[in-house]
């Protein structure tokens, strides 16, 4: 089996599109939310939404890790670089997320901040070894996918006694955000009614399919864990339609070639060894969500940059003209934002959804012919 070509086969895609059209009942409307930036890009890149019947709608949720990061966390990282003169290391997309006054981690270089892009936490630890007289902070962001590498580097720093290295941990958890979307929907006038959930791919390779059972059992919501290729998405949509039509609410795993029920046990054990769950964490567009993020536990508290530098997180409001928050909640699409494609572009992004390569606005800008 060719894991790329076989899942992009045009004839098989045409067959699935026809099967979806046949399965979608004319007296029903199907609204499915995906919680993965990669899935948003699959839908846009391959034009899949244009191939679906009018009564089958895909709604973008908070699946982009850079997009859900609140401005206040960016401000902490900028403060580390400018006020505490630390070397701040993080992933590329994070450098361009606008904070208060439009400043970014990237632009603070011009003010003397030493901010460096890295490809992995291990790169940041290497920089700490090479600069023993400087404090080096890794700004750790992302969902469960990028959390295990941070745990690995925390263990390495502790074992090697590297005292000038610390972590600004902003890792968030997917299932609590998914549940928050469902819980808050009745209080949000513009919240879309959802008929099913497309489970994230990369996250599920780590945590497995079991954590989504609460949505099927408690919320009576169909869930299909989906891979990253166009045939994965079309097959998952067909599976969700079949669940809705038959009145079922189960967790099905379309991405069985990579996802198991129990997940990656080694990665999960690493995360549990190094981190603990925060009482609450602020998400961009979603507000404070209980038990939705991680922090270093007591055994690794000496690596916590928030404690080492006595950082205090101060809430910062998003740009009022930017619809990024509503897009993350599934209430709007990128083209509904008055800034999209005008003053907000990938070259000069106003909102985080345009910054990240996984953001919905970036996907629409890159792949949609209508701007």
Q: Tell me whether residue 219 is in a domain.
A: no
CATH of the domain at 156: 3.40.50.11740
Number of C-alpha atoms within 13 angstroms, CB side, residue 246?
11
Mean pLDDT, the chain, rounded, equals: 95
Indicate the number of domains in the chain: 1
* CB neighbour burial string for 80-113, b if at least 16 within 10 angstroms, e if fewer: bbbeeebbbbbbebbbbbbbeeebbbebbeeeeb
Task: Tell me, yes or no, whether 314 lies in a domain.
Answer: no
> 143: left (phi > 0), else alpha (psi -120 to 50), else beta?
beta
Cα 254 from Cα 292, distance rounded (Å): 26
**DSSP bridge partners of 293:** 172
Share of residues in the chain with pLDDT > 70 (%)? 99
User: pLDDT tens for residues 8-57?
Assistant: 999 999 999 999 999 999 999 999 999 999 999 999 999 999 999 999 99
> Does any domain span residue 136?
yes
> What pairing do the DSSP bridges indicate for beta strands 114-117 and 87-90?
parallel
Alpha-carbon distance of 230 to 220, in angstroms, equals: 27
Cα angle value 141/204/173 (rounded, 5°):
40
pLDDT score of 82 more than 90 = yes
- Residue 299 confidence (pLDDT): 98
Please check whether residue 292 lies inside any domain of the structure: yes
Ramachandran quadrant class, 310 (left: phi over 0; alpha: psi -120 to 50; beta: rest): left
Beta bridge partner(s), residue 280 = 290
Output DSSP code: residue 140.
Answer: E
26: in domain: no
Q: What is Dmax (Cα atoms) for the chain?
A: 68
For residue 358, being part of any structural domain is answered with no
pTM above 0.85, yes or no: yes
| 3-class secondary-structure state, position 103 | coil
pLDDT, tens digit, for every residue of 336-364?
Answer: 999 999 999 998 999 999 998 889 999 99
Range of the domain at 89: 71-171+263-308
- Give the helix ranges, DSSP H, for the chain: 10-23, 37-45, 71-82, 121-130, 147-160, 174-184, 202-207, 213-217, 230-246, 265-274, 305-308, 324-328, 352-355, 360-367
Contact 291, 308 (CB under 8 A): no
3-class secondary-structure state, position 58:
strand
Nearest CA-CA partner of 356 in 35, 48, 95: 95
Residue with tokens 């074992």: 159
Q: At what angle are helices 10-23 and 230-246 packed, to 10 degrees?
A: 20
**In-domain check, residue 221:** no
């Amino acid at each position: 089996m060719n894991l790329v070509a076989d899942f992009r086969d045009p004839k098989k895609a045409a067959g699935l599109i026809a099967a979806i059209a046949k399965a979608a009942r004319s007296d029903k409307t199907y609204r499915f939310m995906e919680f993965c930036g990669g899935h948003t890009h699959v839908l846009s890149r391959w034009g899949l939404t244009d191939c679906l019947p009018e009564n089958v709608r895909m709604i973008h949720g908070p699946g982009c890790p850079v997009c859900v990061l609140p401005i206040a966390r960016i401000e902490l990282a900028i403060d580390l670089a400018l006020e505490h003169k630390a070397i701040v290391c993080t992933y590329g997309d994070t450098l361009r997320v606008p904070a208060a006054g439009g400043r970014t981690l990237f632009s603070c270089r011009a003010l003397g901040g030493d901010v460096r892009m890295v490809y992995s936490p291990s790169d940041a630890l290497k920089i700490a070894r090479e600069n023993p007289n400087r404090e080096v902070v890794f700004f750790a962001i992302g969902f469960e996918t990028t959390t295990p590498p941070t745990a690995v580097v925390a263990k390495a720093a502790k074992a090697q006694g590297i005292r000038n290295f610390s972590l600004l941990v902003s890792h968030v958890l997917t299932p609590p955000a998914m549940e928050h979307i469902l819980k808050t929907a009745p209080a949000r006038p513009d919240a879309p009614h959802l008929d099913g959930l497309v489970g994230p791919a990369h996250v599920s390779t780590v945590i497995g399919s079991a954590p989504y059972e609460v949505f099927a059992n408690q919320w009576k919501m169909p869930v299909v864990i989906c891979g990253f290729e166009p045939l994965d998405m079309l097959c998952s949509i067909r599976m969700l339609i079949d669940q809705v039509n038959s009145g079922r609410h189960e967790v099905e795993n379309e991405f069985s070639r990579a996802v198991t029920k129990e997940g990656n046990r080694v990665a999960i054990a690493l995360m549990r060894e190094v981190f603990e769950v925060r009482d609450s964490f602020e998400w961009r567009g979603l507000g404070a969500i209980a038990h939705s993020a991680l922090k270093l536990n007591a055994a690794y508290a000496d690596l916590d940059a928030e404690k080492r530098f006595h950082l205090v997180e101060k809430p910062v409001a998003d740009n009022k003209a930017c619809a990024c928050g509503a897009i993350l909640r599934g209430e709007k699409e990128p083209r509904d934002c008055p800034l999209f494609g005008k003053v907000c572009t990938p070259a000069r992004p106003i909102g985080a959804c345009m910054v990240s390569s996984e953001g919905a606005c970036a996907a629409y800008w890159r792949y949609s012919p209508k701007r």
